[in-house]
Amino acid sequence: MNAPYLLMMLAAVALGGCAGFSDDHGFDPVAGAARTRLSKDLQWPRTTADRTSVAARVSDLLAHPLSADDAVQIALLNNRALRASFEELGISEADLVQSGRLANPRFELRHAGAAGLYDIEETLSFNVLSLLTLSYAHDIEKRRFAETQSAVILSVMQLAQETREAFYAAVAAHESVDYSRRVDAAAEAGAELARRMVAAGNWNLLDQSREQIFHADAVRSLRLAELRDNAAREKLSRLMGLPNPLAGAQPSFQLAEALPDLPQNIEDLPDIEAAILQNRIDLRLMREQLDELARRLKLATSTRFLNVLDVGPTRVRQGTRQAPYETGYALSLEVPLFDSGAARVRKSEAIYAQSVERFAQAAIDARSQIRQAYDNYRASFDLARQERDEAVPLRKALAEQNLLRYNASLVSIFELLADAREQVASVDGYIQSVRDFWIAKSELDSALVGNSAP
């Protein structure tokens, strides 16, 4: 074999063995993003020991009533769909390693013979085009691997947001059940008292029917509150990756007794442009995809006329078995007679231009999303604060005054019970307002980092 072919084979061997798998499979940057952006630990359990460690950590967190941070941490450790997204890193890294290795050489043998005469042709060929475009293809896969890491980070952020909001909804729903039971108890007492007064001849059936309707509405509201409580708890359980308890068994987790209090003040509108340029993971992912498409467009343009090129040494024997081999080389290429590659290039150009327009619109949408999320955050804070500082105290003061009037025989017991129901309903309304505020805060935080896959 002559020197050029030997050098080509050595180059192929050297380039083919240059790419290898990393120890973390690209997971460390994902875990680092979770620590930086969420202050949460992220693990990818791939061994029995890893899974045992994660299970022990989850059990420790479940041993006491959960906070929102606890729920998010459990979800990040235990959610199986998130673990499945981690496997995308392994898939993408395998593609990256494969892109750094040349295709195997191809050996062709043609053998024919008759009457002691033979025609033997042996050819060992290499895909030279793949060698020439190896760096381009490898760079493209590097960018795709970085895109996969960004996409997994985005999945982590989305799960954290969904879990946090599900936690707030579950705690609020559980509190609502408590207050709905109080309203039901007051309505039941009023209905029973009305029945007795009618039986004693002290009341008419119209007033009794009114109290019975109040009671029926209270029973319905309680049942709906219990359904919302169960649904919210089930959603939170799913996000945390916890199995459903058997009928009659103890719940798999305990919630905090109440939602966090409102903060003293709310945050100012963040720097939207800084968030767009630095923090939005979805936009960063789209930029990485644009870079990849630009590389692909360059590769498509470079290989427009030449799409197949194989070359390698060959030897031929014609005659008897004792006849010497004739040595030479074989070249195989695609002749661009009917397809000049213009369609492939045009398609790549259109895909790239399409992605540029989508990225520009996504940046506009992101700015609008942040502004809208902040408006919702501020408005929900104002509403919850008004409920806390005005509506609830006024209802409480009114109830105290009516109690004094009842003691002075100025109002009836039914008016007092009706007022108690309204006071409880006012407190429940405040709970929903606080829930809406914390959910709005979560949505604002998510809008600043990007919460939708491009």
pLDDT tens-digit map of 18-44: 567 787 888 998 999 889 888 999 999
Cα–chain center distance at 415 = 51
Is the CB of residue 183 less than 8 Å from the CB of residue 221? yes
Q: Please tell me the distance from the alpha carbon of residue 194 to that of residue 215, in angstroms, as a whole number.
A: 11
For 65-128, the DSSP string reads -B-HHHHHHHHHHH-HHHHHHHHHHHHHHHHHHHHTSPPPPEEEEEEEEETTEEEEEEEEEEEH
pLDDT at residue 176 in the model: 86
Q: How many angstroms from the chain centroid is the CA of residue 106?
A: 44
Torsion angles phi and psi, residue 132, rounded to 5: -70, -30
Which of 392, 415, 383, 388 lies closest to 402, judged by CA? Answer: 415
- What pTM does this model have? 0.78
pLDDT score for 140: 77
Radius of gyration of the chain (CA): 36
Phi, psi for residue 13 in degrees, rounded to 5: -65, -45
- The residue with tokens 């499945």 is 84
Which top CATH class is 262-304+342-454?
Answer: mainly alpha
Measured from the Cβ of residue 352, the count of other Cβ atoms closer than 10 Å reads 17
DSSP string, 323-377: SPPEEEEEEEE---SS--SHHHHHHHHHHHHHHHHHHHHHHHHHHHHHHHHHHHH
How many other C-beta atoms can be found within 10 angstroms of the C-beta atom of residue 365?
13
C-alpha distances in angstroms, 314 versus 13, 58, 147, 242?
19, 64, 43, 64
Provide the token pair at 212.
């019975």
Spell out, as residue ranges, where the chain has pLDDT lower than 70. Answer: 1-19, 129, 202-204, 206-207, 244-251, 275, 277, 299-300, 302-312, 329-341, 392, 394-425, 451-454
Read off the pLDDT of residues 185-239 as tens digits, 9 standing for 90 and up. 877 877 777 777 777 776 667 667 777 777 788 888 889 989 999 999 999 999 9
Residue 7 confidence (pLDDT): 43
State how far the Cα of 180 lies from the Cα of 424, in Å rounded to an integer.
8
- How far is 251 from 233, CA to CA, in rounded Å? 10
Return the domain boundaries, the chain: 262-304+342-454
Nearest to 94 by CA among 152, 144, 162: 144
Q: Which residue has the tokens 């997994």?
A: 152
Of 56, 11, 282, which Cα lies nearest the Cα of 150?
Answer: 282
CA distance 207 to 417: 14
